[in-house]
Amino acid sequence: MNMHWIDWTIITAFIAILTCIAVYANRFNKGVSDFLTANRCAGRYLLTVSQDAGNLGAISVIAWFQIYYNAGFSAAWWNMLTWPIILFLSISGWITYRYRETRVMTMAQLFELRYSKKFRIFCGILAWTAGVMNMGIFPAVTAQFIIHFCGLPQDIHLYGINISTFPLLMAIELSLCLLFTFMGGLIAVMVTDFAQGVFCNMVFITILVICFLTFDWRHITEALQTAPPDASMINPFKSTKVDGFNIGYFLIVAFTLVYGWRAWQGTQGFNAAAKNPHEAKMAGIVAMWRTLIIQITLLVIPICAFTLLNHKDFTAVAHSVQDVIGSIESEQLQKQVAIPLVLAKVLPVGIIGLFCAIMFAAAISTDNTYLHSWGSIFVQDVILPFRKEKFSTKTHMLLLRLSILLVAVIIFFFSLLFKQIDYIAMYMQVTGALYLGGAGAVIVGGLYWKRGSVHAAWTAMLVGIFFAGGGLLIQQFWCPVVVILQDWLPNLQFLQNNSEKFPFSGNYISLFASVCAITSYILVSLWDWLILRKCPFDIERMLHRGKYAIKGEHAGNITLPPTGWRALLPDKEFTGWDKVIHIGTTSWTVGWSLFFITILLINSVWEIPDGWWIKYWHFYIWLFFGLSIFCTIWLLWGGLRDVKNLFQTLKTADRNVCDDGRVTAFQEVLGKKVLESQKLSVNESK
């Protein structure tokens, strides 16, 4: 066993602290709106840290470990392709701002407002199915990490009974997630995720310091230079043969960012929880700084692990790790546990406990967020639309908790039975595409194009399901399928060359499904407009803008937020500090983008030597490390202030019992608010 009693004490104490936070947060959970959206009272820093913690689970950490272990610094370079895209999405408030303007609780509720009730129910079922499948391997990956990192036995003997460690750990982790989610809904999830996010930032910085002290830069560069010539882990322009994670991978990621921004509903509660649309937009801008901490940590740790396993100075330790890896039958599991096993050899007592605690915390933060989302979606978008009368608050809350419990039970057995054959990142991409393949087109068209039609929405969703779902099935059952196809087409070279594995990863399946969905949405919408003469949809009313504006809903009391290129600039909603954040974020990202383009141009006429890249990556690591320390302090200060404001607001906030996700009641309540705002505007003008 790799764990000392000090390490176990750290983990136990951390879980106890999280439980106390959840118990305290539960006192503010007084209604359906509290459970689902924290009564829309969250500030930007709380949203940023908690939502990022909810997105960055143990499975995501291990997925990025796999990427950087395979591609090294080259992956970090090509990942810069996404930076200007994320900047545009953040400062423009792409999807985020308009979604919050609608005041809906779930994305499928927006679909009922924009398209139809039947479409809401269909998308609710689809989102729930895709989400549960996507989440299905989360507990398994977390449990396998803990077993191999902590050096736990495969079986535990208790009172003469032989208990498998793998399902036991999954049950413990899911039970804690259920406890936090049941207690206070999104309020408890958000506050505990914030605590876990801050804790992770601090431990990440500590682990980075240990890595810097353990591995000399010379060791790192010498180990990385052992990679094949066309799979360089230092020079990104020599990485065409990197397995799965080359420039093509990140180009697809860049496309998916724009197409599927905020479409995935794993964190749907956070998307609706901001105080107002501007605060939701600012949370996205601030998040760009929090990612610095994550980027540098997820890059340095796998590179140090690669160094230990491939440098001659660490041969003895490497052999002990390789012996453990070799005893594991599953190839994908070998790739998942390689880096945790290295860390268990490198980190000292106490720090091992801290790392295990943050990985466990990351698993809990993601799983409780996802359990809350998928459980809520099943009730809100599958059951609730059939109701003409509202549930009592007590009944509604009971249904939400039972639905969350159902999701936990399903993914527990899914993790036990499912056989993973692809990289984690690829699996998550293709299972997500079951919903995202069509949802991106439906969301963008619904929020930004008044000609988008109901028929187009249905078509895009069905097309996305067909190609993404078909790709997933073929990928999963490729071996038996290829045997049948070879009997029919024995001379086909394609089948002979790819007899063991489907040649297209989840990334490419997702891209193809998305492109087909976009095309179908546009063509069908144009058909409805030009041929069937369908009337355009009143988007301004759905967004509560202009004459439909609700007083106090926007910062600065504006009624018509800027559109087009003006949405990229600070407006009347921005305070002085908001403008500083906006200018700093824009300058930082644009500067790096110009540097990226300059290097591309230079390398096109003169090949940049590996020696230059070695010096550049050394500078890159230390720059990001220094900024990470600053961002950790900044986000901690702002987040604590937001948590305090959240609790103070919830103490006196009005709870509207009709604000439960039903569109009819929702429209009636908002219609009254619009009338009140119009009367106030008339009185003020007089």
Q: How far apart are the first and last CA of the chain?
A: 77
Predicted pLDDT at 683: 47
Nearest alpha carbon to residue 55 among 317, 368, 338, 484? 368
Q: Running DSSP on this structure, what letter comes out for residue 348?
A: P
Whether 269 contacts 189, CB under 8 Å? yes
State the pLDDT at residue 424.
Answer: 65
* Phi, psi angles (nearest 5°) of residue 57: -85, 180
Domain formed by 5-150+164-417+544-656, architecture: Up-down Bundle (1.20)
Look up residue 555 and give its two tokens: 């910062």
Rounded Cα distance between 203 and 351, Å, is 8
Q: Where are the domains of the chain?
A: 5-150+164-417+544-656, 421-537
d(CA 356, CA 381): 37
Which single residue is written with the structure tokens 């140090």? 304
Q: Which helix (H) or strand (E) holds 4?
A: none
pLDDT at 680: 46
Q: For residues 353 and 46, give the distance between their C-alpha atoms in angstroms, rounded to a whole number.
A: 26
DSSP 570: -
**C-alpha to C-alpha distance for 165 and 152, rounded to whole angstroms:** 8
CB atoms within 10 A of CB 53: 29
Long-range pairs for 211-215 at CB < 8 Å and ≥24 separation? 211/300, 211/301, 211/304, 211/346, 214/304, 214/346, 215/304, 215/307, 215/308
Give the helix/strand (H/E) hosting 390: none
155 DSSP β-pair partners: 164
Instruction: Tell me the C-alpha distance between 456 and 521, whole Å.
Output: 5
Task: Write down the pLDDT at residue 291.
Answer: 84
Half-sphere exposure of 490 (CA within 13 A, CB side): 1
The series of mean pLDDT values per 10 residues for the chain, 686 residues long, is 82 90 90 91 93 76 80 88 90 92 91 94 92 86 82 77 86 90 89 91 90 90 87 86 66 82 87 91 92 88 89 86 77 74 83 86 87 93 86 91 94 82 64 83 94 95 88 77 80 77 76 92 95 90 85 74 85 92 95 95 91 94 93 94 94 80 65 53 45
Q: Residue 539 and residue 449: Cα distance in Å, rounded?
A: 8
Residue corresponding to tokens 């990192």: 149
- What was the pLDDT predicted at 258? 85
C-alpha–C-alpha distance, residues 623 and 634, integer Å:
17
Provide DSSP, 484-546: HHHHH-TT-HHHHHTSSS-SS-HHHHHHHHHHHHHHHHHHHHHHHHHTS-PPPP-HHHHHT-G
Task: With residue 372 as reference, give the H or E element that holds it.
Answer: helix 351-378
Tell me how far apart the alpha carbons of residues 517 and 648 are, in angstroms, rounded to a whole number: 45
Q: pTM of this prediction?
A: 0.85
Please answer whether residues 429 and 506 qualify as being in contact, where contact means their C-beta atoms are separated by less than 8 angstroms.
Answer: yes
Q: Kindly report, residue by residue over 142-155, the tens digit of the pLDDT.
A: 888 888 788 888 88
Q: How far is CA 536 from the centre of its chain?
A: 33
Whether 295 contacts 588, CB under 8 Å: no
Q: Return the half-sphere exposure (C-beta side, CA atoms, 13 A cut-off) of residue 605.
A: 4
Count of all residues that appear for the chain in the document? 686
- What's the CA gap between 189 and 51, in Å, rounded? 10
Predicted local confidence at residue 376, as pLDDT: 94
**E strand or H helix at 416:** helix 393-417
CA dist 484 to 472, 476, 494, Å? 18, 15, 14
Residue 670: predicted pLDDT:
57
Rounding to the nearest 10 degrees, give the CA dihedral for residues 124, 129, 130, 132.
120
